[in-house]
């Protein structure tokens, strides 16, 4: 396994506008075909101060892959997901879930989409799959920080995040 840290800094004449820090994990190549993971029993989605549900489709994932130039087959090739990687279905992109969290945060804050985060921290913790319902659960803002998590229909937390406002 190899962990690669990447930092990109975007600036202009006004100074630094954005710093993007990411850690990517590369695992050894899978050489033997993997059996798809079984679907666990469905349980009620969690409640919270603010919730929004999603069920991504294969078409949405394909389009997001195209928009972001992401050629990773787990997002658009069902046979690859199941037979090579051992996933039960197409995997929802982490950045798509992050965008959904930020858009939900903006909707909660109101202002016709004029809310901008000062800082965002997030971590994908478990895969989320096409055709399976999941929920963003977002708390109320405390000391300019809003906590968010995405939970699937089986009780697994797929992503945790924190948004800091100005």
Q: At CA 100, angle to CA 97 and CA 102, rounded to 5?
A: 110
Residue 47 has pLDDT above 80, yes or no: yes
Contact between residue 60 and residue 93 where contact means Cβ atoms under 8 Å apart: no
Q: Predicted confidence band at 31 (pLDDT cuts at 50, 70, 90)?
A: low
Q: Which of 92, 78, 85 is nearest to 130 (CA)?
A: 92
Average pLDDT over residues 115-139: 94
| Percent of residues, the chain, with pLDDT higher than 90 | 66
Domain locations in the chain? 34-165
Record the pTM.
Answer: 0.83
Provide the pLDDT for residue 19: 86
Dist CA 33 CA 87 (whole Å): 11
Q: Which of 89, 98, 101, 84 is nearest to 136 (CA)?
A: 101
CATH topology of domain 34-165: Thiol Ester Dehydrase; Chain A (3.10.129)
Contact between residue 74 and residue 93 where contact means Cβ atoms under 8 Å apart: no
Q: Is 12 helix (H, G, I), strand (E, B) or coil?
A: strand
Q: Predicted confidence band at 127 (pLDDT cuts at 50, 70, 90)?
A: very high
Q: What is the pLDDT of residues 85-94, one digit of tens each?
A: 889 999 999 9
Average pLDDT over residues 35-43: 81
């Amino acid at each position: 396994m190899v962990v690669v840290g990447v930092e990109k800094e975007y600036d202009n004449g006004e100074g630094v506008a954005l710093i993007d820090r990411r850690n990517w994990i590369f695992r050894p190549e899978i050489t033997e075909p993997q059996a798809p993971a079984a679907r666990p029993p469905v349980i009620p989605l969690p409640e919270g101060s603010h919730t929004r549900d999603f069920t991504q489709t294969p078409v949405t994932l394909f389009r997001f892959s195209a928009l972001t130039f992401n050629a990773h087959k787990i997002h658009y090739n069902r046979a690859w997901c199941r037979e090579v990687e051992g996933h039960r279905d197409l995997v929802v992109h982490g950045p798509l879930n992050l965008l959904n969290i930020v858009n939900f945060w903006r909707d909660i804050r109101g202002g016709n989409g004029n809310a901008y985060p000062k800082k965002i921290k997030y971590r994908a913790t478990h895969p989320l799959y096409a055709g399976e319902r999941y929920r963003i659960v977002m708390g109320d803002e405390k000391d300019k920080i809003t906590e968010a998590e995405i939970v699937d229909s089986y009780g697994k937390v797929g992503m945790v995040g924190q948004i800091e406002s100005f």
